[in-house]
Amino acid sequence: MSDIANVELPKHQTGLSVGIIMDGNGRWAASRGLPRFEGHRRGVEALRAAVRAAPDLGVRYLTLYSFSLENWSRPKREVLDLMGLLKRFIRNDLAELHKSNVQIKVIGEPDGLSADILALLAEAQDLTRNNSRLTLVIAFNYGSRQEIVGAVQAIARRALAGEIDPKAIDVDMISRALQTATVPDPDFIIRTSGEQRLSNFLLWQAAYAEFIFLPIHWPDFDQAAFTAAISEFNRRDRRFGGLVRAVEPDLSAKTAS
Ligand code: IPE
Ligand code: IPE
Ligand code: MG
């Protein structure tokens, strides 16, 4: 990968956790006079390229927002298309992802997903559970507020059962009750399409994330765009509430080898 060899990747940034809000497929297609489905199809190609490029850019965890709980409000045809594309992606790419030492983890609500999708997602997670080069977190049928509600319910049940004292509830306990318990908080969140919002993505986890909002649509997000975004991240001054640049972000303590 010669064209990314020149990117500045300081040692302490080899274990990055990156979230991507893959937005703009529909507008990409519309601007070319194509049906929205074509944008989504090309979006899967961009996703594939991003997963391939991630490890060489120092990314250890890549969380991709693929379908939100709010996306059910789209026309039924489009929802079916998006479900179909996920199935196709897992069926076509699972073997290669496994060979590339990628671990797949799914976050989101199982409710509302068809049995065949749930079976494919379970198969993908089972097969790849011991892989360690990159963890690909697929946020599918995901909503951050709903995830937080689930965590609060689980903690409340434990309190009611007398297992924990409400006074013992702290930031760590809540983090561990989320579906992202084993995924470090994102260092960096990228959103394509020019929209500047989170749309219910990783609200709790993004407390100290850096953000970049790119003016390109998701199907145009290629290796060069990913590389440029990571370079921009590497120029950011992360202070975590302090006064000087943090040399070792929390994350690297947990993940760097
Ligand atoms: C992102 O592209 C894909 C999903 C949200 C599933 P969009 O479908 O949101 O495309 P735009 O934002 O309408 O252009
Ligand atoms: C966010 O994009 C969800 C995904 C990328 C899966 P949307 O297109 O659904 O978000 P809004 O509606 O513009 O906020
Ligand atoms: Mg959109």
Q: Which residues of 113-135 are buried (b: 16+ CB within 10 A; e: fewer)?
A: beeebeebbeebeeebeebeebb
Q: Is residue 143 within 6 Å of ligand 1 at its C-beta? A: no
Give the chain's mean pLDDT.
Answer: 93
Could you give the CA distance from residue 227 to residue 57 in angstroms, rounded to a whole number?
7
71 is catalytic: yes
Which of ligand 2's atoms lies nearest the C-alpha of 199? 14
pLDDT higher than threshold 60 for residue 251? no
Mean pLDDT value of segment 124-150:
98
175 domain residue, yes or no:
yes
What is the structure's pLDDT at 6? 52
Instruction: Evaluate whether residue 30 is within a structural domain.
Output: yes
Distance CA 219, CA 42 (A): 5
Contact 53, 2 (CB under 8 A): no
88 located within any domain: yes
What is the Cα–Cα distance from 249 to 39, expressed in whole angstroms? 36
Q: Is the CB of 219 under 6 A from ligand 1?
A: no
Task: Check residue 180 and give its pLDDT.
Answer: 98
Q: Does the beta carbon of 25 sit less than 6 angstroms from any atom of ligand 1? A: yes
Q: Which residues pair with residue 128 across a beta bridge? A: none
Residue 7 lies in a domain: no
Question: Is 53 inside a domain boundary?
Answer: yes
* C-alpha of residue 49 to centroid of ligand 1, in Å: 18
Check which CATH number belongs to the domain holding 213 and give it: 3.40.1180.10
**Comparing C-alpha atoms, which of 249, 251, 255, 250 is closest to residue 237?**
249
pLDDT at 252: 45
185 is catalytic: no
pLDDT, residue 7, reads 53
Q: Which of 65, 199, 201, 202 to mutate to test the pocket of ligand 2 (most atoms within 8 A of CB)?
A: 199
- Residue 247 within a domain: no
Which ligand is in closest contact with the Cα of 195?
Answer: 2
pLDDT higher than 80, residue 82: yes
184 CB under 6 A from ligand 1? no
3 within some domain: no
What is the C-alpha to C-alpha distance for residues 110 and 134, in angstroms, rounded to an integer? 23
- Write out pLDDT tens, residues 87-104: 999 999 999 999 999 999
pLDDT value at 1 more than 60: no
With cut-offs at 50, 70 and 90, classify the pLDDT of residue 14: confident
Q: What is the pLDDT of residue 2?
A: 42
Question: Could you tell me the residue range of the domain that residue 64 belongs to?
Answer: 20-235
Using CA atoms, how far apart are residues 183 and 173, in angstroms rounded to an integer? Answer: 14
Q: Under the phi-then-psi rule, with left for phi > 0, alpha for psi from -120 to 50, and beta for the rest, what region is 192?
A: beta
Res. 60: pLDDT tops 70: yes
pLDDT in tens, 153-168: 999 999 999 999 999 9
Predicted TM-score (pTM) of the model is 0.92
Q: What is the number of structural domains in the chain?
A: 1
Phi, psi of 41 (to 5 degrees): -65, -45
Assess if residue 9 is contained within a domain.
no
Annotated catalytic residue: which of 56, 71, 220, 234?
Answer: 71
